[in-house]
């Protein structure tokens, strides 16, 4: 009997810790699996996904920049993937792909469980409106945050995400250039990939108060500029995305294998080796 094939698909993706994380989960639960990283450009995503299925692939995680394209490639979507308009977990069912999104559940579980944050009624700023932001926004609203402000370099994407979330009295798209007018937030989340290329947006320190938790959905070197800004601004908490990565991976693992692994030992092992972490899923 062949070992089921799984993968993380992105561009770039060689840095990804997902193969290491899923291998650790498999060892923990004595589940044999083959999990690899597949790098593919945006225009080749559908062809790559088809080739992966033809070679025995039964499940995949999807990372930058393919999460919204993955949603369009699916025959069916879970409710949370439909709300997000983005997919980070694919499962082959009857020869067709089913899409889900575990990013939001992973983030909330990390912030509330591992870091002990009470998210209820927190005035929240979400920086970015791409696949990562779309994955976490619905779960944050469900977790009880207060008003959600969304800013993005391209304001049309912020408007589109706000419209998709469908809570006009609670979700507010705004211009990135107007950040200095916003006042303090209880929760600031960086969901951009800007630090990969042209640097972190110019963020005023007035966004941060004594209670503020600042969270970067990236991990490793990519998260350093935002977390450094947060600490310099006096944020109460400055949290990288490693914990979220492990938790969303555990949610995907449970969807594929029917059992949720213990994330704490895997997270602890990765923290011990955090000097070798490079970038973000």
Q: How many CA atoms lie within 13 A of 274 on its CB side?
A: 15
**132 marked as part of a ligand binding site:** yes
**129 marked as part of a ligand binding site:** yes
Angle at 259 between CA 271 and CA 19, to 5 degrees: 45
**248 marked as part of a ligand binding site:** yes
**157 marked as part of a ligand binding site:** yes
**153 marked as part of a ligand binding site:** yes
Rounded CA separation 100/227 (Å): 29
Q: What share of the chain is helix, strand, coil (3-state, %, to 5)?
A: 45, 20, 35
* Region class of 111: left (phi > 0), else alpha (psi between -120 and 50), else beta: alpha
Q: Which residues pair with 150 in a beta bridge?
A: 126, 173
User: Please, are residues 242 and 271 in contact by the beta-carbon 8 Å criterion?
Assistant: yes
In the three-class reduction of DSSP (H, G, I as helix; E, B as strand; rest coil), residue 199 is classed as: coil
**99 marked as part of a ligand binding site:** no
Angle at 77 between CA 133 and CA 13, to 5 degrees: 50
User: Please, are residues 120 and 266 in contact by the beta-carbon 8 Å criterion?
Assistant: no
180 is catalytic: no
**79 marked as part of a ligand binding site:** yes
**183 marked as part of a ligand binding site:** no
Residue with tokens 């979330």: 165
**75 marked as part of a ligand binding site:** no
**61 marked as part of a ligand binding site:** no
**241 marked as part of a ligand binding site:** yes
**92 marked as part of a ligand binding site:** no
**131 marked as part of a ligand binding site:** yes
What DSSP assignment string belongs to 91-121?
Answer: EEETTEEEEE--HHHHHHHIIIIIS----TT
Catalytic-labelled residue, pool 15, 67, 83, 123 = 67
| Largest distance between two CA atoms of the chain | 61
**152 marked as part of a ligand binding site:** yes
Give binding residues as ranges: 16-18, 63, 79, 88, 103, 128-132, 152-157, 217, 219, 241, 248
**Active site residues per annotation:** 67
Give binding residues for NADP(+) as ranges: 79, 128-132, 152-157, 217, 241
Give binding residues for shikimate as ranges: 16-18, 63, 88, 103, 219, 248
């Amino acid at each position: 009997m062949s070992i089921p094939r799984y993968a993380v698909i992105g561009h770039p993706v060689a840095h990804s810790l997902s193969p290491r994380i899923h291998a650790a989960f498999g060892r923990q639960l004595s589940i044999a699996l083959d999990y690899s990283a597949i790098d593919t450009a945006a225009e080749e995503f559908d062809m790559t996904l088809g080739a992966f299925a033809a070679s025995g692939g039964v499940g995949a995680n999807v990372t930058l920049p393919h999460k919204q394209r993955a949603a369009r490639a699916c025959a069916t979507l879970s409710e949370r993937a439909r709300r997000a308009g983005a997919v980070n977990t694919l499962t082959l069912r009857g020869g067709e792909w089913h899409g889900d999104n575990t990013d939001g559940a992973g983030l909330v579980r990390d912030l509330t469980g591992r870091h002990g944050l009470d998210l209820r009624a927190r005035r929240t700023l979400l920086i970015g409106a791409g696949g990562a932001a779309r994955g976490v926004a619905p779960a944050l609203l469900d977790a009880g945050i207060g008003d959600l402000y969304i800013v993005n370099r391209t304001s049309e994407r912020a408007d589109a995400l706000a419209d998709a979330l469908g809570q006009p009295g609670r979700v507010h798209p705004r211009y990135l250039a107007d950040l200095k007018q916003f006042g303090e937030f209880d929760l600031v989340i960086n969901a951009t990939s800007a630090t990969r290329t042209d640097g972190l947006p110019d963020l005023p320190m007035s966004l941060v108060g004594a209670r503020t938790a600042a969270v970067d959905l990236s991990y490793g070197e990519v998260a350093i500029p935002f977390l450094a800004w947060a600490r310099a601004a006096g944020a109460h908490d400055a949290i990288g995305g490693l914990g979220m990565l492990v938790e969303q991976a555990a949610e995907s693992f449970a969807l594929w294998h029917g059992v949720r692994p213990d994330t704490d030992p895997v997270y602890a092992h990765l923290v011990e080796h955090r000097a070798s972490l490079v970038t973000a899923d």
